[in-house]
Amino acid sequence: MKGGHAKEIGNIGNLNKVQVSEDANTIAFVTYVNKQKGMVAEAMLCLNQINLYSLLDSAHQNKTICLGKELMNVSKIDNMSRRKRKWTLSKVKSYSDYFAVLYQNATERELYDSDRESFLLVFKWDGTPVLKIRIPFMASSFGISDTGDIYIFDNYGKYEKLYLYKNINDIV
């Protein structure tokens, strides 16, 4: 998401013809399924993209959301040393009208850096960005309650932290 906007790209973007030679984590992802909508959100762990798939209608609901100016080059990331490689997205969770992902964009070492920040990105199921919450630490997980309260967790550093954002239902 650059300047509060996500860039939509054709289905699967740069993963249509990809081969990794060094590390399968290059194309690893976390997914969540919204059974009511028949949609899947797939957040790439080392790439700056989210893939949306329809389980019901493949003709017009499949898309790739690019979190930046352009999709990362898979071969370049694959050949990068693990110490330099960034983990971009780490969690994805599904809700009735939207899904949310945790954006970290940090190397393994930076995950434990208390000066780093992360973001919670919220999208409608059609890929439209809804909300971007700056988290003043490197979050490790999150949850959104039925009442719209967001709980953000951190267990990377010396102390565990829990942040609460009250009632986002009016926003999303």
Is the whole-model pTM more than 0.75?
Answer: yes
Task: Determine which of 23-37, 86-100, 107-121 has the lowest per-residue pLDDT on average.
Answer: 23-37
**Interatomic CA distance for residues 161 and 59, integer angstroms:** 43
pLDDT (tens digit per residue) in 10-65: 445 444 445 555 555 667 778 888 888 888 899 888 888 999 988 887 665 688 89
Q: Given this model, what pLDDT does residue 128 score?
A: 93
For residue 4, pLDDT over 70 is answered with no
**For the sheet containing 118-124, what is the strand order?**
87-94, 98-106, 118-124, 129-135
Residue 1 confidence (pLDDT) above 50: no
- Between CA 92 and CA 52 the distance in angstroms is 12
Q: Which residue has the tokens 């389980």?
A: 55
In this structure, the dihedral spanned by the alpha carbons of residues 9, 15, 17 and 21, taken in order and rounded to 10 degrees, is: 150
pLDDT > 90? residue 155: no
**Distance of alpha carbon 125 from the chain centroid:** 14
